[in-house]
Amino acid sequence: MSAQRVAVVTGGSRGIGRAIATTLAARGFAVVVGYQGAASAAAEVVDAVTSAGGRAIAAQADVADENAVAAMFDAAEKEFGGIDVVVNSAGRLSLSPIADLDLDDLDALHRTNIRGTFVTAREAARRVRDGGTIITMSTSIVGLQLPTYGAYVASKGAVEAMTLVLARELRGRQITVNAVAPGPTATELFLDGKDETTVERMAKQPPLERLGTPEDIAEVVAFLASPAGHWINGQVVRANGGIV
């Protein structure tokens, strides 16, 4: 029997990250559920995985803190023996017209979405076993260019560019590197502050005429992390029901 594959999922305590963690666990991965502050939510994910017969631990880390991220990877290697897949699902969203943008909000977005992705990807590039997978998270709004999303899409545009460079840098190790870019997805982060009319309008935009679900995105990630998805490399996969 081959050794169990191991996945580290940042932002794994809620929303899309939670769905990714539980989906990968259902596919047979041992999972490290990375979280920043939601310890009880991360514990719930671990309990869900272990109750279903899987293996999981929670690991606290601010993704922008290189020492904390290194410690999270250390925990993964100590508990499970190595790392095969890293999914950086931790992210921050802040909305404002560019003319009114609070630069403190811009700096916070930069710290989590850009620096956090770089720190996690740097550690992944050093530690993921040959033949593994690194997945970052972007957004389909990079293509939609919706008003008030300027700072957010600027951060995710940087994520996409970095992801494509890293894919080329890992030549020779059989490691794939891709970004997944969800469209409007029914998470707490997305629904917060939106009225019912706005949500219904956005749900009608894709030809499939609904919002995505966290599970929709998790299935794309699981495919990319599987042997079946290993020929996809250095790509931005727009998982949005055909909206763009």
Sole residue written with tokens 């979280």: 35
Sole residue written with tokens 């606290």: 60
The reply to whether 152 belongs to the active site is yes
Q: Give the closest residue to 140 by CA, choosing from 209, 217, 240.
A: 240
Q: Give the closest residue to 75 by CA, choosing from 130, 14, 10, 140.
A: 10
A 10 A CB-CB count for 121 gives 24
Q: Residues near 24 by Cβ (< 8 Å), separated by ≥ 6?
A: 7, 9, 31, 85, 87, 218, 221, 222, 225
A 10 A CB-CB count for 126 gives 9
Residue 55 to residues 30, 76, 78, 213, Cα–Cα distance (Å): 5, 11, 14, 24
Instruction: Select which of 29, 80, 118, 152 is catalytic.
Output: 152
Q: Give the closest residue to 20 by CA, choosing from 57, 51, 45.
A: 45
Residue 142 falls in which region: left (phi positive, over 0), alpha (psi -120 to 50) or beta: alpha
Active site residues: 152
